[in-house]
Structure formats: C-alpha cells, structure tokens
C-alpha cells in the first residue's frame, strides 16, 4: 500500500512539474489590431474587442485572427455626465469590460485621469453588438455606478464583471481598482448593474505591500471549484519601457483570500507571474480571459511592439491549465515515467499517450487500494496529459 501510494504521488508530481519551459506561442494576427486594455466577446459569428480610447472604439473579426475597425460605442463623444464628474478628464475612456446577462450586453467603463483616484465607473447596455442590427443602441446609465474620490483608499477604474453560477443562486460581482489599496470586489444588482448599497460594500482581494505598489486590471474566472484572479502588476503606458506583467492566484470563495502557487495571499503582495516580455513584445498586460464555443480558454491582453516604436497591440494566446489546476501559457507535457519502472505499457514512451491498455494494466493492481473513486481521479489526470491531436496517438474510446 505505501509503495503504491508513493508511486502514485511520484507519478502525479511528474505530471505537475514535467512541463518543459517554452516560449509562449501567440496567435498570428493581421489587419488592424492596435489596441490598449482589450476585452473580447462573441456575438453570433463575430468576435468583438473593446479597448481604451476616445469614444470607446472596438475591433471586429470573423476568425479571431484578421481584425478590422468596427466603430465606436459613443460616435458623438462620451456621455455628458463624464465631463462633469471627473476633473481633468480628457475624453479618453479607459478599460471597458463586456458581459452578457438579462438579455443585454453590459459595458462597464472607466472615467479617470493619470495619477488620480477621483474616478468613476459607468455602464452602458445594448441588446446586440452588431451595429447593422436594427435594435443596436448603447443606452448609458446616465451617471456613475461606482465612484472614488481623492479621500478614498481605492480607485474606481478597470471594472470587470464576474457572474458566479456556482452558488445555489447566481450572483454578480464587479471587480475594479488600481494602486492605492489595490483591487476591490463588490456584489451588484443584476437588474440595475449597480451595487446593492451606496456606498458599496467592498472586499479587498489583492494589493501590493512593497514598492512599486502598481496593481490593476482584475479579472476573475471560475474553474473546477476555484476562483482565479488575474491582475496586472507594475507599469503600463510607457511604450517599450513598460514593465506590465500578468499575475494570478486562486481562492475557494469569490471574495478571497486568493493564494498564489507559493502559498502567498494576493492581499500580501502575492501573485504568480504568467506573462513575460521578449525581445519584441514589452509589458504584456491588462488581461481578460475569453472562453470560445469549444470550451477553450484564451488570454487576451496588449503588449508594446519594440519593432514599431512601442505601439500597443492586441495579443491572443491559448490559456492552458496544469494537472494541478493552475493557469499556464505552455501546454502541459507528459512525463516519461516508463523508464522509471512505474508499470506503464511500452507504447507510452514514444507517443506520450496513456491509452486504454495502459489504464487496464495499472487498474488491476491499484483498484483494491484506491477503489473506484480514486481510480477515476487517476484516469482524469491521465486524460489531462493526453494529446489526441498528436498523429502518433490513437484513442481507444
């Protein structure tokens, strides 16, 4: 029993830690895809990327590769209240977020100015994202849904909505924040898109405790019972000198605590690094996660192009998950455990594929110790290690 347990533990460890580091491979994009602070949605057969800019511009694509300008949310300029509420606002609307619920698309957006936390988060709704449809019309809330003032310890920018369908009753949460005391989350009323109370009840979920205190752009996803918080650390908006990078942690509750891979809470400065610069692309950050119709996750963010004067461009990368449940930009590789004598059939070594025969070989000896439930967990881990797209693999189910 103890020997088999140690073998199983070692096998899982190899699955978790055997990923070979590789340079992240981004999707090849063409057309017009210069953006800053992007977020992506799909409506019918078209992808939409909304991003920071005057009048809130967006790009469109049929295949997630070739992009073109789609127009503006506010063709005539920002809503009137934005100029009245925020001193030094220059018309540049920051970091929009797009989500769909209650039969409408909800676009949250930021009104602010650099280095100040006298900021507002606004909301606009639409029944469609397609400007050619007759019902296309963005209707603004007419005022801020969340605000921060210079006396507050937080900053009302970078909103991102998270819909929590895990609870008995679906709940809606808005994350936001930057610098100051970091990232906040508050529950909202889905009928109004606003917090239930004024002032809102805020939960702190991430902050930096040592200089630089730069943190912003929160985004939450739920996967396999864990809430994952992504945030951008360090500095954006400086071209090739930008030091932006994406970090993450996970929690068992949406309000935290979010813990990184080293066991450090994100409210104590923790956060495992996900994106890194390379020779061409600097400051990869301000991320969102998009799940396509096939259940694949994609990391959406911008980076600054050193080959084009540090201009910000859209970057799209498949988001993978390690066998122990952490996000990664590298596809997990299988461990060559055959040579270690752990009883796998010989075909595992050349094709890195654990098939029915491998499973049957081990099931007989392990079934007594681990019972059906344990064997099911083992089989799930094996399936995570498979690559059916590999021409060397021949699935047996």
In terms of domains, do 261 and 369 share one? no
**Average pLDDT along the chain:** 85
Do the domain assignments include residue 392?
no
What are 7-22's pLDDT values in tens digits? 444 444 434 333 333 4
d(CA 253, CA 327): 18
* Catalytic residue positions, numbered: 37, 216
Res. 25 pLDDT band, cuts 50 70 90? confident
d(CA 355, CA 357): 6
Q: Judge whether residue 4 has pLDDT over 70.
A: no
Do the domain assignments include residue 357?
yes
In terms of domains, do 210 and 339 share one? no
**Distances 208 to 119, 186, 219, 325 between C-alpha atoms, Å:** 20, 19, 17, 24
Do the domain assignments include residue 61?
yes
What are 115-149's pLDDT values in tens digits? 999 999 999 999 999 999 999 999 999 999 999 99
Q: Judge whether residue 88 has pLDDT over 80.
A: yes
Whole-structure pTM value: 0.81
Looking at residue 353, what is its pLDDT? 47
Q: Which domain holds residue 340?
A: 2-16+333-384
Do the domain assignments include residue 395?
no
Residue 286, preceding bond cis, omega within 30 degrees? no
Res. 204 pLDDT band, cuts 50 70 90? very high
């Amino acid at each position: 029993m103890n020997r088999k347990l140690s073998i199983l533990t070692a096998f899982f460890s190899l699955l978790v830690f055997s990923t070979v580091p590789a340079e992240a491979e981004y999707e090849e994009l063409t057309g017009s895809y210069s953006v800053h602070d992007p977020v992506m949605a799909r409506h019918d057969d078209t992808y939409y990327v909304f991003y920071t800019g005057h009048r809130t511009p967006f790009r469109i694509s049929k295949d997630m590769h070739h992009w073109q300008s789609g127009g503006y949310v506010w063709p005539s300029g920002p809503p009137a209240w934005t100029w009245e509420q925020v001193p030094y606002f220059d018309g540049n609307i920051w970091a929009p977020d797009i989500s769909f619920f209650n039969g409408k698309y909800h676009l949250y957006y930021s009104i602010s100015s650099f280095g100040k936390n006298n900021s507002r988060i606004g909301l606009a709704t639409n029944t469609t994202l397609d400007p050619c449809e007759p019902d296309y019309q963005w209707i603004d809330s007419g005022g801020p849904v969340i605000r921060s003032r210079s006396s507050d310890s937080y900053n009302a920018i970078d909103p991102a909505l998270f819909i929590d369908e895990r609870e008995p009753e679906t709940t809606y949460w808005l994350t936001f924040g930057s610098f100051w005391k970091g990232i906040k989350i508050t529950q909202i009323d889905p009928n109004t898109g606003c917090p239930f109370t004024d002032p809102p009840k805020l939960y702190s979920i991430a902050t930096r405790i040592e200089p630089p205190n730069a943190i912003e752009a929160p985004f939450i996803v739920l996967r396999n019972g864990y809430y994952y918080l992504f945030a951008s650390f360090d500095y954006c908006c400086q071209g090739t000198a930008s030091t932006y990078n994406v970090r993450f942690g996970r929690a068992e509750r949406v309000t935290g605590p979010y813990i990184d891979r080293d066991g450090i809470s994100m409210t104590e400065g923790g956060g495992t690094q996900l994106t890194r610069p390379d020779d061409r692309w600097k400051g990869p950050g301000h991320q969102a996660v998009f799940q396509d119709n096939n259940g694949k996750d994609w990391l959406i963010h911008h980076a600054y192009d050193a080959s084009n004067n540090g201009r910000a461009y859209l970057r799209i990368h498949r988001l993978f998950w390690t066998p122990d449940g952490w996000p990664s930009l590298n596809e997990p590789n299988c461990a060559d455990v055959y040579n270690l004598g752990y009883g796998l059939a010989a075909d595992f070594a050349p094709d890195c594929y654990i098939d029915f025969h491998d499973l049957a070989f081990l099931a007989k000896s392990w079934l007594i110790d681990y019972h059906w439930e344990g064997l099911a967990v083992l089989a799930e881990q094996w399936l995570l290690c498979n690559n059916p797209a590999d021409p060397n693999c021949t699935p047996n189910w």
